[in-house]
Structure formats: structure tokens, C-alpha cells
């Protein structure tokens, strides 16, 4: 199950648990960094690797749930909660806020492995999607203002002739812009360009989304 470069962050205030769980995860081939409190975790500068955060519900400074809430506003690894007692309201709250899993101590090995895998997989996917978006934004930034106008009109469903009329330019000029756009955005087809525009949140100025 070993995957390269993924990190497990473990936050638990009990040194015995920290030590043992870290040992367990290490024996499963994962790389683990442990923290005794939320503050310690927040102070740590994480590497860019795919990761998962195992968070004890009861921490000495702020509760695991509060930390989860705080992390929701920034890019952060997926969270697996661990708790001494299966407290239903807390687990419901944690899951609703997007936690991968809520495990009770002592932690079941299979459940732990499954949760970590799920968390890391989701993190990878999110990272990939973020990376793709960043790439698209990079390409989009290469477009001239006129090309951006053209892009928004054509993906909005206007024919070349109509779009040219809207902008008050010749149809042939418009076609020229359009091929420039396809090239700069590295689009395989017009359908691909429409998808890209959607991800970038570009809409036809006349159509309200």
C-alpha cells in the first residue's frame, strides 16, 4: 500500500497514544509527523506532499472540531478524527464538516488503513484538480483582452458571424482570434475549450448564469 511521498500528520495530546499510533502507521509504511497540540500543528510548515491529518477530538488547547473549522478556510489535508469515546453528536458534526472518518480508540487497523487511504486519495484528487485549474489559469492569462471577449462570446453559443457583429469586426478577423485562443489554451477541440471556460467560470456576458 506504500505510496511515495505521502505524509500522515497526527495530533494527540497523550504521548503514549502519539507514540503507539505513529509506530503503527510507520509499520504500515507511512511517513508520520506527530504533534501534541493544535498550536504545534499550525506552527508546522508542511511539505507539498499529499497528506492526511489524524486529529484527536480532545486537545489541550482547542478542540479537534474547532481546529477542523479553522482549517476549512485554507487548503488542508483531509481529516480523520480519533476519540476516546464514541460521542455521536461530535462525530456527526465532524462528518458534516467534511471529515473522512471518525474512529474510536483503540483504533481498528483495517478501519484506520481504509480511512487513511481514502483521505490520501481524496487529497490527491483535490490537489490534481487544483493543479489543473492553476494550469488553465496560466493559459488564460496569456490571452489578449480581445481574445478573452471572443472566448466568452463563442463559448456562450454565438456563431462566428454573430460574435463578429457584436464586436463590430470582420468575421475573418474573429476566426483568426479563435484559432489563437485554441492554440494558447491548448484545447483539442471546441468542446474541450467550452469545458475549460466552464472551469474558469467564464460565461457569455449576455447570459446570466
Partner 1 sequence: MEMEKLGAMNSDHSAAIKVTRNGSGEKYSNDALSTNEQDMTRILDMFPGFVWTARPDGEIECSNQSVLDYTGMTLAELKNNWRSVVNPDDIAVRERALDLMARSGEPVERELRVRRFDGVYRWFHSRMRALRDEHGQVLRWYCISWDIEEHKRAEEALRESEHRLRLIIDTIPALVWVAKPDGSVEYTNQRVLDYFGVPEKDLAQFRWVHAVHPDDADAALRGWLRAVAAEASYEATHRHRSADGEYRWFQVRGEPLRDRDGRVLSWYGVTVDIDDRKQMEEALRSTRARLSRATRIATVAELSAAIAHEINQGLAAVVANGHALRRWLSSVSPNLERARLIAERIIRDGNSAADVVRRIRALFKQEAPTKVPLDVNEVIAEVLRLSGDKVRRKSSYVETDLEENLPMTLADRIQIQQVIINLVHNAIESMEDVTNRPRLLSIRSRRDATNIIVEIRDYGRGLENAEKIFEPFFTTKENGMGMGLAICRSIVEAHDGRLSATTSEKQGTTFCFTLPIRS
- 20, 33, 114, 176: which one contacts partner 1 (CB under 8 A)? 20
Query: Please, what is the minimum distance in Å from the beta carbon of residue 116 to partner 1?
Result: 13
Contacts by 172-177 with C-beta closer than 8 Å and gap 24+?
174/150, 177/146, 177/147, 177/150
Please name which of 11, 28, 21 lies closest in space to residue 117, comparing C-alpha atoms: 28
Nearer to partner 1, 58 or 76 (CB): 58
Considering only residues 148-177, where is the footprint of partner 1 by CB under 8 A? none
The answer to whether residue 14 forms part of the interface with partner 1 (CB under 8 A) is yes
Q: Using CB under 8 A, which of the segments 10-18, 88-96, 188-196, 197-205 binds partner 1?
A: 10-18
Minimum distance from residue 78 beta carbon to partner 1 (Å): 20
Contact 11, 55 (CB under 8 A): yes
| CA–CA dist 146, 177 (Å, integer) | 8
CB of 34 to partner 1, least distance (A): 12
- In the bound state with partner 1, the residue whose beta carbon lies nearer, of 82 and 154, is 82
Say how many residues make up the chain. 209
| 79: three-class secondary structure by DSSP | strand
Largest CA distance in the chain: 75
> Hey, how many other C-beta atoms are within 10 angstroms of the C-beta on 166?
16
Shortest CB 111 distance to partner 1, Å: 12
**Which of positions 59-118 make contact with partner 1 (CB under 8 A)?**
84-85, 105-107, 109
Contact code string over 21-60 relative to partner 1, x by CB under 8 A: x-xx-xxx--------------------------------
DSSP state of 107: P
Q: 147 φ, ψ to 5°? A: -65, -35
Which H helix or E strand runs over 152?
Answer: helix 145-155
Output the smallest distance, CB 12 to partner 1, in A.
Answer: 9
Lookup result for grid cell 484538480: 129
Query: Which CB, 17 or 53, lies closer to partner 1?
Result: 17
Residues near partner 1 (CB under 8 A) are 14, 16-17, 19-21, 23-24, 26-28, 84-85, 105-107, 109
Amino acid at each position: 500500500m506504500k505510496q511515495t511521498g505521502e505524509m500522515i500528520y497526527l495530533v494527540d495530546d497523550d504521548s503514549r497514544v502519539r507514540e503507539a499510533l505513529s509506530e503503527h502507521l510507520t509499520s504500515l509504511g507511512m511517513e508520520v509527523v506527530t504533534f501534541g497540540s493544535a498550536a504545534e500543528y499550525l506552527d508546522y510548515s508542511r511539505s507539498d506532499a499529499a497528506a492526511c491529518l489524524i486529529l484527536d477530538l480532545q486537545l489541550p488547547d482547542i478542540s479537534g472540531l474547532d481546529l477542523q473549522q479553522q482549517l476549512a478556510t485554507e487548503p488542508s489535508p483531509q481529516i480523520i478524527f480519533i476519540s476516546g469515546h464514541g460521542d455521536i453528536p461530535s462525530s456527526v458534526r465532524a462528518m458534516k464538516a467534511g471529515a473522512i472518518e471518525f474512529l474510536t480508540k483503540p483504533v481498528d487497523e483495517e478501519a484506520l488503513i481504509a480511512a487513511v487511504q481514502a483521505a490520501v486519495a481524496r487529497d490527491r484528487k483535490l490537489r490534481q484538480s487544483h493543479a489543473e485549474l492553476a494550469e488553465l489559469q496560466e493559459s488564460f492569462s496569456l490571452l489578449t483582452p480581445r481574445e478573452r471577449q471572443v472566448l466568452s462570446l463563442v463559448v456562450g453559443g454565438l456563431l462566428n458571424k454573430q460574435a463578429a457583429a457584436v464586436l463590430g469586426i470582420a468575421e475573418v478577423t474573429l476566426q483568426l482570434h479563435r484559432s489563437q485562443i485554441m492554440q494558447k489554451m491548448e484545447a483539442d477541440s471546441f468542446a474541450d475549450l467550452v469545458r475549460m471556460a466552464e472551469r474558469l467560470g467564464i460565461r457569455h456576458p449576455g447570459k446570466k448564469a
